[in-house]
Structure formats: structure tokens, C-alpha cells
């Protein structure tokens, strides 16, 4: 299968082209087959390829195939090539697997929509771009995928073209991502300027093999600069402070899109990139520090905002931002495999949460406001149960997937010597459990807060939607078992072992052994934090429904601050967006361009006109006056000649 590596990304691309060009004419069943079929085949191909990889000896688990030269200019050479190693192997499985499930779910969710073919075309295109991103063998190819997923995100957020808010959100996502992309591409340039190559293999080999090259502060400074510039890209793509503002707005897109792009895959690209560049990051203490701090701050801030939001999808969006923060914390404390582990489990349970939310929205006829739901477990039992599993998983309850990955991150933070990070992470875990169960209780428990017209409409979703929910619920339950921690006494962490060859070039700091019993205590503590969050949520939203309102009223200031998301959007608009538009229009265009520059040009023209206006009186149209001028001229000429002679 490894020889046909190109099939994995090309299948979705073909599906996208087919659906985009002919889907409208050939009808929705054709679109369904092509759209889901290409995603499914891509998953099978990916699975076969990864299976081949697993069969190979660990040191041979790297396949790099170049197809043709894409750009070549002097040393600046970028091949069109695909790389498959354990890291990208995990990623392609997550992308195609979760992607396929979400495609299937979309059959039901998007049923009857006017742009059905367009939707599947975009979704397939996204899979292609995401696969290019994770399978890229050099920085520039990665950038292709990097921007490609941004484009698909733009297209899919703005999928409902009637809605102005959707168009705004799409544009915002693209532009904010572009800000990150500029940082990323400058980082790539710095990589090229430093190492004279764009290939991962070559760059990492140079870094790893020649520590002499970066002996002094300058070398590390260079690596730090590269790492930070690349990290700007990650901040944009993975919605970290200060560029996270696009992700909550991105919920304007259809729910499967939120699940696939804005939860499971695209937004994790930044984490993937940092882990891919582990050889760079692991050698720069400063860069790691920045990654950790940004990650933990984002995790905490987004979680606090998530506490008060009432839109079901926005709660999940902030939760995603927060979980991405965890992944960056993992990378920041050089627990790279833990970051990828959490990326994977997060893909399962967060996709499940979004799909469940989509199922709820579908049932409610488009309603997204939690305050108008309640008691839904009676009407949508499958959705309810799967949502509960997902909420438990994200809260980190043993033995669901989220427990293993989150616990590993928190423990790594402590073991890496960052107790503050650990503490904040633990508190965030408690908050996470709280707001996730707040969501669950508000939607599925308690009194029904909707009218009869909605109640008549309520129904459990069709099988094409519930089956994906069940599949993801199973994954969210057992997904963590691939990376059982050593303290359970079942051998070393096999997920970390699998990833190890891909991280071979990373710099490993000295670690001191911590006994398994200590680890066990830490795991216990984090489960405890989650349980506290859950019971608090239960107390406030089931046991004592008035408590939440009372608390909000009591702490009006902080509540409003959180509810309005710290006013970040407003601040950006005031300080950045509006001034730029006004200055451009009033000063640059009307002032400088039309006023000064064009004014000067037209002024020169006008002054010519003035001179001409004066001189025109000589040309008065009277023959006799012309004759006099001629005569005068001739006389003057004669006089002049005579003077010269004389």
C-alpha cells in the first residue's frame, strides 16, 4: 500500500472535483456515494498504509515518496512529496476515520439542503488539504495544506450564503488564519535561510547532528525565532490567544463542519506542526516556555468563557479552544506524544459532542439556545447517552479516552517542573467537567423550556446520524486504551512507543523517575477535580435550578465579563479593524491618493491650462495681426543679423 500513498489524499480530491463539477446534475444519491465513498476509501487506504507501517521494523517506519518537483529556484526546492511515519500515520487515521464518520453523519444532517453537492465537494476538498498538511514532507507542502484547510474552513463556515453572519464569520476565520500564516511562512523562510533546505528530514538532521552549529546564544536564538514564527501560524490555526477569536464565530457553519474542521482535525494542525517540529522546539527553552504559557492561558480563559455561554455550539467551541490549549501545554513541556494522544482522543469525543449537538439542533428544528431546551433525553435517547459518554470522556473520567490523555499531559507538566501549569490545568479540568455537564443537564434534563410547536417536531435523528454517534462513542470509550500509562502495570505506553521514531530528532531533557504510585495519586486527583465539577453542575442545574441564576445575579460583573467573552471582539474592532478602515478611506484614499498625489498631477495639468489661457490671446484670428507679427519678427531678425555683421 505504501507505493500508493498518493491515493490517500488524491481520492478525496477526486471526489471533490467530481461532486463540484457534476454533482449538481447527477443528483444527491450520486453525491452521497462519491462524497462518502471517497472518504471511506481514503480511510481504508490509510488504514492499509498504517498497517504496513506497523508491520515494518520501528527504525524503518518512515516512507518519503517524491512525485515531482513543484518549485525549484536555486536552493529553494520544494518537491511534491508525501511522508508517512508514525506521526503522520496517526494523523491520517484520525483525519480519514473521523472524517468518514462525519461524512456519513452529514448524509442525514444535510439531507434536502439545496447545496448538498457543494457541501460534500467542500468536505472532500478539506480532507484532501488536511491530508496534504499531515503527509507533507517539507515545510512548503505543509503550507499548501495549511492554507488549503483554511480555504475549506472559509468555504464551509460561509456555507449558508444567505446569512450575512456566516459570510462575516468565514471571512474572519480566513483573515485571522492568514495573520498566523504570515508568521508561519516567515518562519519557513527563516528555516530556509538558516539551513538552506525546506525538507523536514534535512533540516532536522542538521539540527540534531550538529549541536556545534548552535552552541552559543545566537544559534539557540535563531531556533527560538524559527520556533516562535512557526508558532504564530499554530496560534492562528489552532485558535490560541490572541488569535482564537475566529473559532467561536466559525460555529456559523453546518454542525458536521464544526465537528470535523473546528474540533477534530483542522484546529489541531497547529499542535501537529509543533510536534512535527519537535526537533526545533525541544532545543529552545524560550519557545517551549511561550508555547506552554500560551497553551495554559488559553485553556483557562476559554474554559471560563465556556461557563456562561448559552449557545450549545459556542460552549463546545470554547471547550475546543481550551482543549487545544492542553495539547500545546503538552508540547510545551516536551510531552509531544501526549499532545498527539490528546489530539486523537479529543478528535473522538469532541467530534461526538458536536455531532450530538447537531443531532439536538436537528431535532429542535434549528434551535441552538440551551435556555430553550431541557428534558430532551426522553425524545432523543441515543443522542443523550452518547453525549453523556462524550462529556465523561472530555471530563477525564476513568476509563474513558480523555482520562488517559489529559492525565498524561497534567502529569507531564508536573514532572517537567511546572507545578503552576499543573495546578491551572487541574483547575481547568474541573471547569471543563462543570461546563460540559452544565450543557448536558441544560439540554437533556430538567423541565422542557420550549413550546408545543417544537415538541411536535422533536424526534430522534435517523440512523445515518445515530450510527456515527455510536461509533464515535465507542471510540471515545476505548480510544484511550492504545496509550495505557505505565503505572497501570501493563507495560510501557504503547502509543508513545509507536510515535517515538518520528520524534527521534527531538531533544530529550533529563528526566528523573517518578514512582508509579505517585503517578497514580495524580491520576486520582485529576479524576477528583472532574468529579467535583460534575457534581457542582448537577447541584446547580438539576438539584437546585435557581442556584445558577442566583450566582449570576450575585456576581453580575464577572458574569457579564465572561458572558461577553472578555470583550475581546469589541476591543479588536475598536482598536484595529475600524481605525484601519477609516484611515484607509478618509486619509489614504480620499486624502493622499485623490487629494495629494492625483491633485498634484491634475495641478500640473491645470497650470498648463492657465498658461495656455494667457497665451491664447495672441491667437486672435485676425489675419492682419498675424501679418504684423510676421513683419515685426522679420524686422527684428534683420536688425539682429545687421548687428551681428556690424
Partner 1 sequence: MGLHHYLILSALLFAVGAAGVIVKKNIIAIFLCIELMLNAANLSFVAFSRYLDQVHGQIFVFFVMVVAAAEAAVGLAITITLYRNRRTLNVDDADLMKW
Partner 2 sequence: MQITHILSWLTYLPAALAAALVFFPGGSARALKWFAVLGSTGVFLLSLYPVYHFDPGYGGMQFVEESAWIQAGGYSISHHLGIDGISLFLVALTTFLTPLALLASWNSIAQRLKGFLICMLLLETGMVGVFCALDLVLFYVFWEVMLIPMYFLIGIWGGEHRIYAAVKFILYTMVGSLLMLVAIIYLFLANGGTTFDLLAVYQNLESGRLVLSHRAEFWLFMAFLIAFAIKVPIFPFHTWLPDAHVEAPTAGSVILAGVLLKMGTYGLLRFCLPLFPAAAVAAAPYLSVLGLVGIVYGALVAMVQPDLKKLVAYSSVSHMGLIIVGMFAFTLQGLEGATMQMLNHGLSTGALFLLVGMIYDRRHTRMIANFGGLAHNSPVLAAFFLVVTLSSIGLPGLNGFVGEVLALVGTFLRNRTYAAIAATGMILGAVYMLWMYQRVFLGKVTDPANAAMGDIRSRDRAVLIPIVIMMLWMGVYSAPFLRRMDASLELVQKRVHDARAPEGGYQVRQLKTPAIRKSDGR
- Residues at the site binding partner 1, with contacts judged by CB under 8 A: 616-617, 619-624, 627-628, 631
Q: Indicate the pairing of strand 76-84 with strand 63-73.
A: antiparallel
Cα–Cα dist 48/44, whole Å? 6
- In the chain, what's the furthest Cα-to-Cα distance? 125
Which has the closest alpha carbon to 396: 346, 443, 444, 355? 346
Q: Which is nearer to partner 2, 236 or 332 (CB)?
A: 236
How is residue 480 written as a grid cell?
Answer: 484511550
First to last CA, the chain: 106
Q: Which partner, partner 2, partner 1, none, binds residue 190 by CB below 5 to 8 Å per kind?
A: partner 2
CB of 175 to partner 1, least distance (A): 56
Cα–Cα dist 475/469, whole Å? 10
Q: Which partner, partner 2, partner 1, none, binds residue 427 by CB below 5 to 8 Å per kind?
A: none
Q: Does 190 bind partner 2 (CB under 8 A)?
A: yes
CA distances from 322 to 91, 298, 306, 312, 614 (A): 20, 6, 9, 16, 75
Helix (H, G, I), strand (E, B) or coil at 620: coil
How is residue 627 written as a grid cell?
Answer: 501679418
Identify the residue among 100, 122, 192, 326 touching partner 2 (CB under 8 A).
192
Q: Which partner, partner 1, partner 2, none, binds residue 627 by CB below 5 to 8 Å per kind?
A: partner 1
Give backbone dihedrals phi and psi of 83, rounded to 5 degrees, phi first: -120, 130
Q: Which partner, partner 2, partner 1, none, binds residue 253 by CB below 5 to 8 Å per kind?
A: none
Residues 116 to 155 in contact with partner 2, rule: CB under 8 A: 140, 143-144, 146-148, 151, 154
Q: Does 597 bind partner 2 (CB under 8 A)?
A: yes
Identify the residue among 51, 54, 56, 193 touching partner 2 (CB under 8 A).
193
Cα–Cα dist 96/112, whole Å? 25
Lay out the site mask for partner 2 across 5-24 (x = CB under 8 A, - = otherwise).
Answer: ---------------x----
How is residue 162 written as a grid cell?
Answer: 444567505
CB of 580 to partner 1, least distance (A): 49
- Cβ atoms of residues 496 and 511 within 8 Å: no
Q: Which is nearer to partner 1, 515 or 620 (CB)?
A: 620
Q: Does 69 bind partner 2 (CB under 8 A)?
A: yes
Instruction: Kindly give the interhelix angle for 516-538 and 419-444, rounded to the nearest 10 degrees.
Output: 40
Cα–Cα dist 480/523, whole Å? 14
- Cβ atoms of residues 192 and 300 within 8 Å: no
Helix (H, G, I), strand (E, B) or coil at 27: coil
Q: Does 74 bind partner 2 (CB under 8 A)?
A: yes
Q: Which partner, partner 1, partner 2, none, binds residue 74 by CB below 5 to 8 Å per kind?
A: partner 2
Identify the residue among 111, 178, 372, 377 touching partner 2 (CB under 8 A).
178
Q: Does 202 bind partner 2 (CB under 8 A)?
A: yes
CB of 611 to partner 1, least distance (A): 13
Identify the residue among 33, 64, 113, 168 touching partner 2 (CB under 8 A).
168
Contact residues: partner 2, CB under 8 A: 20, 68-77, 80, 140, 143-144, 146-148, 151, 154, 158, 161-164, 166-168, 170-171, 174-175, 178-179, 181-182, 185-186, 189-190, 192-197, 202, 206, 580-581, 583-585, 588-589, 592-593, 597-598, 601, 605
Amino acid at each position: 500500500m505504501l507505493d500508493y500513498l498518493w491515493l490517500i489524499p488524491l481520492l478525496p480530491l477526486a471526489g471533490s472535483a467530481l461532486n463540484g463539477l457534476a454533482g449538481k446534475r447527477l443528483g444527491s444519491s450520486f453525491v452521497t456515494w462519491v462524497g462518502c465513498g471517497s472518504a471511506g476509501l481514503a480511510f481504508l487506504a490509510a488504514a492499509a498504509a498504517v498497517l504496513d507501517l506497523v508491520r515494518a521494523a520501528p527504525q524503518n517506519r518512515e516512507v518519503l515518496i517524491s512525485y515531482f518537483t513543484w518549485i525549484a529556484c536555486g536552493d529553494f526546492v520544494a518537491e511534491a512529496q508525501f511522508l508517512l511515519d508514525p506521526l503522520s500515520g496517526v494523523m491520517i487515521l484520525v483525519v480519514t476515520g473521523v472524517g468518514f464518520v462525519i461524512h456519513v453523519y452529514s448524509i442525514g444532517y444535510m439531507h434536502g439542503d439545496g447545496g448538498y453537492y457543494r457541501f460534500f465537494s467542500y468536505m472532500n476538498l478539506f480532507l484532501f488539504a488536511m491530508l496534504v498538511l499531515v503527509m507533507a514532507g517539507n515545510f512548503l507542502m505543509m503550507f499548501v495544506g495549511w492554507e488549503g484547510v483554511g480555504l475549506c474552513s472559509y468555504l464551509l463556515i460561509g456555507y449558508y450564503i444567505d446569512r450575512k453572519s456566516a459570510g462575516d464569520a468565514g471571512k474572519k476565520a480566513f483573515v485571522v488564519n492568514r495573520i498566523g500564516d504570515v508568521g508561519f511562512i516567515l518562519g519557513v523562510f527563516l528555516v530556509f535561510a538558516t539551513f538552506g533546505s525546506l525538507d523536514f528530514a534535512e533540516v532536522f538532521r542538521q539540527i540534531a547532528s550538529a549541536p556545534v552549529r548552535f552552541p552559543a546564544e545566537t544559534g539557540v536564538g535563531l531556533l527560538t525565532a524559527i520556533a516562535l514564527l512557526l508558532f504564530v501560524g499554530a496560534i492562528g490555526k489552532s485558535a490560541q490567544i490572541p488569535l482564537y477569536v475566529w473559532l467561536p464565530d466559525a460555529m456559523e457553519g453546518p454542525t458536521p463542519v464544526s465537528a470535523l474542521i473546528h474540533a477534530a482535525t483542522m484546529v489541531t494542525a497547529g499542535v501537529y506542526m509543533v510536534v512535527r517540529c519537535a526537533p526545533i522546539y525541544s532545543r529552545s527553552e524560550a519557545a517551549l516556555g511561550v508555547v506552554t504559557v500560551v497553551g495554559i492561558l488559553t485553556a483557562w480563559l476559554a474554559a471560563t468563557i465556556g461557563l456562561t455561554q448559552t449557545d450549545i455550539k459556542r460552549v463546545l467551541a470554547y471547550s475546543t479552544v481550551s482543549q487545544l490549549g492542553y495539547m500545546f501545554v503538552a508540547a510545551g513541556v516536551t510531552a509531544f506524544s501526549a499532545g498527539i494522544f490528546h489530539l486523537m482522543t479529543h478528535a473522538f469525543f469532541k467530534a461526538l459532542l458536536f455531532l450530538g449537538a447537531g443531532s439536538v439542533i436537528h431535532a429542535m428544528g434549528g434551535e441552538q439556545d440551551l435556555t430553550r431546551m431541557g428534558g430532551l433525553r426522553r425524545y432523543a435517547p441515543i443522542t443523550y447517552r452518547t453525549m453523556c459518554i462524550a462529556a465523561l470522556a472530555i471530563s477525564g473520567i476513568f476509563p474513558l479516552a480523555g482520562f488517559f490523555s489529559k492525565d498524561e499531559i497534567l502529569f507531564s507538566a508536573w514532572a517537567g517542573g511546572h507545578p503552576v501549569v499543573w495546578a491551572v490545568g487541574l483547575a481547568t479540568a474541573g471547569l471543563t467537567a462543570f461546563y460540559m455537564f452544565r450543557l448536558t443537564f441544560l439540554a437533556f434534563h430538567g423541565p422542557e423550556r420550549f413550546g408545543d410547536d417544537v415538541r411536535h417536531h422533536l424526534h430522534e435523528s435517523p440512523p445515518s446520524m445515530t450510527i456515527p454517534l455510536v461509533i464515535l462513542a465507542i471510540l471515545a470509550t476505548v480510544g484511550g486504551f492504545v496509550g495505557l500509562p505505565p503505572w497501570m502495570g501493563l507495560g510501557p505506553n504503547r502509543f508513545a512507543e509507536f510515535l517515538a521514531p518520528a520524534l527521534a530528532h527531538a531533544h530529550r531533557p533529563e528526566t528523573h523517575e517518578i514512582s508509579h504510585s505517585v503517578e497514580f495519586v495524580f491520576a486520582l486527583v485529576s479524576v477528583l477535580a472532574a468529579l467535583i465539577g460534575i457534581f457542582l453542575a448537577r447541584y446547580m442545574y438539576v438539584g437546585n435550578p435557581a442556584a445558577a441564576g442566583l450566582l449570576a445575579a450575585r456576581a453580575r460583573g464577572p458574569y457579564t465579563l465572561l458572558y461577553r467573552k472578555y470583550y475581546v471582539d469589541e476591543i479588536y474592532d475598536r482598536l484595529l479593524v475600524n481605525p484601519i478602515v477609516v484611515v484607509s478611506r478618509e486619509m489614504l484614499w480620499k486624502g493622499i491618493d485623490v487629494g495629494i498625489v492625483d491633485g498634484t498631477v491634475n495641478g500640473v495639468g491645470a497650470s498648463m491650462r492657465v498658461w495656455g489661457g494667457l497665451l491664447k490671446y495672441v491667437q486672435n484670428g485676425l489675419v492682419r495681426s498675424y501679418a504684423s507679427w510676421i513683419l515685426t519678427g522679420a524686422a527684428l531678425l534683420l536688425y539682429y543679423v545687421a548687428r551681428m555683421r556690424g
